[in-house]
Chains A and B, each alone.
Chain A
Amino acid sequence: MIQVTHISKEFVSPKKYPGLKGAVKGLFSNEKVRKTAVDDISFHISEGEIVGYIGSNGAGKSTTIKMMTGILTPTTGQCLINGIDPSKNRMENAQNIGVVFGQRTQLWWDLPLSESFTILKEIYNVSEEDYKSRMDFLNEVLDLPEFFDRPVRTLSLGQRMRADLGAALIHNPKVLYLDEPTIGLDIVVKDKIRDAIRQINAQYRTTVILTTHDIGDIEELCSRIIIIDEGKKIYDGGLEELKNTYGAVRKVTMEVRRMERISEIDWENRLHANSSLFTVQTDSEKNLLTVSFDKNRIQVSDIISSVMEVSDVKDIQIQETELSEIVKAIYRHRI
């Protein structure tokens, strides 16, 4: 469905100098700064997949999306969306795609929402029956009727985002690009948007590419993620594999009554493991004992039972490494 081969995008901008003196200097200098926003990225996405496309701010996510939608022309490389090169046939490609840029709207700002939908119906040449059946579906998953007759500028952000998502789907696109669709939304609306995306994907086998900073979006929606950083692809694979590769470390925190007896435990023996596979930290002020360990090699029950033998335990917390931790680690590692 989507075939991206070795695309790169380089931006050239005039060099700016700091301060007033710099501003004057800028008027006369002709120096250019080259910045590679996307650097030799390739991937393939099949029909019906929901792919999370993540990276830190300025990593090149939106630039890639813009190249896939035909807004920007790649400096080198090529992408094919459903067999069409968007940089050459922008209009033809646009017929097959739906796009939501979370920070912008494609709706007519001053007019009632209903008007935007009727315009889009004509633009995409949607037949009357198709329009009806799709509107029924969208009304159901996005609750559009409650604000359908209000001018777009009077909608709340959550309503506007639902409306924008609906507008991007009115022509039943094969590929749906969502660039931060849940930005700035409250938890209830977020859930609604996620639900809608899931249902659309299930009902119409729409391929979805999602960029987001919200790890919840990724965990709930995506089976596959692509991580890019500084324009380069650094991970492409399943969500579970990522967690297994980077997130094997688990942490158990216990509040114990008799801290002084903890040192009596012979950890290596009790856990049947080499000391490199776990670390023990104690906080005698708060009576907290924290053990970090490789969950593939050490049983959590062994840790708990060995502690219980020497002391009462008031509280236990077991933490799995969250995706956000992994992503953070990956971003940091690159810097």
Chain B
Amino acid sequence: MKKFIRTYLPFASNELKRNMAYKGAFYLFTLCSLFGSFIQYYLWMAIYGSAQGAKLGSLTREEMVVYVFMSYVTSSLTMISVSRELGKDVVKGSVVMNLIKPIDYRLSLIAKGLGTMVYHFMMPGIFVWAGLEFYKWYALGLPVVNIGNLLLYVVSVIFSFFIYVLFDFCFGMIAFFTTYIFGMQMAKDALLSFLTGQLIPLSFFPEIVERLFEFLPFSSMVYTPVMIYLGKYGISELWFVLGRQLVWVVLLYLLGSLLWKQVTRRMIVLGG
């Protein structure tokens, strides 16, 4: 175990350093995506302002504020693309440089994702979160989040991270067949912003659709942790959703191993 950590930790810490090396790009990216969150915020406020009841899709106006910003924080922590790097490695053939080392390629990608996650947590995750809690307390006069929900949220986010990267790894396998993945990635991102509840809370959908979406692994990526943060689940429900996350981690891990085995067997690397 110690050796395992010693082997893969440098991938995480180097990814962290790498992120910092290109901080200009990251500030811009953060600014742009935060901007999106604010648009969403004003849009929702307008919707709530013209709505009849106090609750929409089982969320109050205040809860919606939390939802918008926490789904931003959560997705920046959990939705860390490994397929982009995988795709690039496959298309350029540099995947061979990883295969000549005594490391598991997928684990190295996950470790790198973890490095990015830590970076996103510091920049800007924790600031957005602190700002949100301050706003809640100062402007909305609500109590800050209770520590139990926060801890459960952290556990759930860790599961979410693994679900996303393991799923994305499987998705990245497409690159081996098409040798081009960028367009697919755009499509995936658009689809996922719906299915994960990033754009609209899943509780807004008709019940049958909501059921279906919750059954898929994507709801576990963003929707589940944010709802835990909001304290929307009872005890038994809580165990159920966390258990469901764990099941997806295991299933996607196994699926990824299977695909990788198939793909490397028929891999072609040409030129140099």
Contacts and interface: CB of A to CB of B under 8 A. Distances in A.
Contact of A94 (B9, B100, B269): B100
Given A71-B267, A122-B9, A108 B102 contact: no
A99 B100 contact: yes
Nearest to B5: A122
Query: What interface size band does chain B fall in?
Result: 20 to 34
A69 B9 contact: no
B94 interface: yes
A124 B14 contact: no
Nearest to A92: B102
B22 to A, nearest CB: 7
B96 A71 contact: yes
Interface stretch (A111-119, A135-143, A231-239, A251-259): A111-119
A57 to B, nearest CB: 9
Interface residues of A, number: 35
A125 B103 contact: no
Contacts of B9: 122
A71 B94 contact: no
B207 interface: no
Contacts of B17: 111, 115
B102 A95 contact: yes
B14 A111 contact: yes
Contact of B103 (A91, A99, A118, A179): A91
B97 A106 contact: yes
A94 B272 contact: no
Q: Which among A11, A91, A103, A122 has the greatest number of chain B C-beta atoms within 10 A?
A: A122
Contact of A119 (B14, B93, B271): B14
9 contacts: A62-B271, A91-B102, A91-B104, A92-B102, A104-B272, A115-B17, A122-B10, A124-B101, A125-B7
Interface of B: 3, 6-7, 9-11, 14, 17-18, 21-22, 93-94, 96-97, 99-104, 264-265, 267-269, 271-272
Interface of A: 11, 13, 62, 66, 69-73, 90-92, 94-95, 97, 99, 101-106, 108, 110-111, 115, 118-119, 122-125, 151, 179-180
